[in-house]
Structure 1
Amino acid sequence: MMKASLALFSALFAAACAHDAPEAEAAAPPRVATSFYPLTYFVETIAGNELELFTPVPAQADPALWKPDTDALLALQEVDLILLNGAGFEQWVSKVSLPESRVIYTADSFRETWIGHDEESHSHGGLAPHSHGAINGHTWVDPVLAERQAEAIFAALLERWPDRRAAFEAGLASLRAQLAEQERLWRDLCSRLRTAAVLASHPSYDYPIRSCGARIENFDLDPAAPLSAAELDEILLRAGEGVPRLMLWESEPQAATRAVLLEHGIESVVFETGEALDDAELAQGRNFQTLMLDNLKRLAEALGN
């Protein structure tokens, strides 16, 4: 009798385990990969805890120029959805094979608004010579375009996981409100930007400047390197007569660079694009929204607003 009971228990236990295994697997959250931090923030805001997020690009790497190794490519093959910026931003994408049915290029819906630039090769920041491609991929810096990218993310998530609609809709509404705040601050600055001489150390700001109806002169300057005499001559040649004269930097330039530009009436303004935030910055409470609001505050101060 005891043997029969044990046999029956074993059979029931095995059946229960077999039944629970697919349920446990089904309960696992969908895995979504993003190519860089702004998209990660958009997905986090839209989906909350509904998804498991994965970004293969290390925080210290340039997400545009990063090259995935075998482990990263294998990991990308395993996720349910891959979200990319598109507009040529992730240059590595054209060199690898991804499961296209699971790839979303979030900037594709406004291809007609993409801005081109030349493909002249250059180097900075200790990187090998490279070009930034024929298209300017910094679309997310413009909050109007960032909202369209957020809508593309929402649509992709909803198509795959319609049972999470309520959470996704609430998250999208929250993100839209944040981007609307950025847009309002840009609009407040537009009239001053149209009369200023706006220069950029890197072609990262074309989209919001164009939205303002202003002009920008782009350079390829490394904030970590000293400004050469030739670079200074070119800056002064192209700076124009607008007032004030501003140079936008993705990170803090050398103190000597800031000083020499100021001697020539050009104020340096740090305007981070947010392509990567490390764990320490996130732990301090920084995120895409706080970063952009800080950027716009510095820009407003430089413009005298």
Structure 2
Amino acid sequence: MTSIASSSSSSSLVIFLSVISLLATTAAAFKPILVICSGNNHSIPSPFASNLGRSLANLIATTPNSPTHLFTNHYGTDSTADMVYGIAQCRKDASPAMCADCLTEAADAGFNGTCAGRKSATIRYDYCLLRYADYFFYSHPSNFSFAYEFKPESAISPANFKTRVGKMLDELVVATAAKTTYAQISVPSKEMYGLAWCTMLEPEECYNCLNQGLQGYRKCCSVQIGGWVATASCVLAYDDQPLFNLSLLQIEAPPPGSGEGSSMLSISILGQNISYFCQFMTNFSISDLH
């Protein structure tokens, strides 16, 4: 955790803005999932804008090299209007370079783009989360206002698909909230992948966030063959294409009679048993996708 009082000139802020804009033009294109702009407005230059610039620069520089891919900071003087709290998190299957690029794009969207001039913003991409505000919000669940996006293709056998994928997602939500550090993968050609991700939530809050997203999915989109639901505090996704880097998973021999048939393999996830970082990945065979 870092705390630095705001005292530098606006020229350093201009330099930061120029650098972040340049980096954003060369960074990889990451899929935006959720952008929320809120709070009061701030002017540029101003002490708040300077503190925000420093917070974002520090998050971009530090998070990719953090063992947990999670970092928080705060800049400014406590109990003043110039205080900035920031958090950044990248998925564990993102390389340091990918993490830095993703956060750079998110910071540019927040500082210079959609949320320019706002004191509070949440920018979630497929591989990273960036959030900042003028108030303390760490470990506090968001209001669970979800965004949804799903593929237009529907399953050929909707009833069977809903049952099997629904079961997978139910187990995924429970395992993520419990910080379980294993996954399952199937070897047949037809597969479904799932990913759940909470950011700095206690297990019960993580479960509530993911479960609320899951219930929304069941009401609107349970026969689509891929999609995600997301809020500032959690993400739940599934697809018939890999959602994560399989090279980061260690495959172990399946125990006798495990899984559906004999095709299920137990997989451990590298580095996932981290306090307040819950990301569980699973993959089930689905025979009726197309």
Q: What TM-score does the superposition give when structure 1 sets the normalisation length?
A: 0.24
Q: Which has the higher strand share?
A: 2
Which structure would you say has the larger Rg?
1
Comparing both structures, which one devotes a greater share of its residues to helix?
Answer: 1
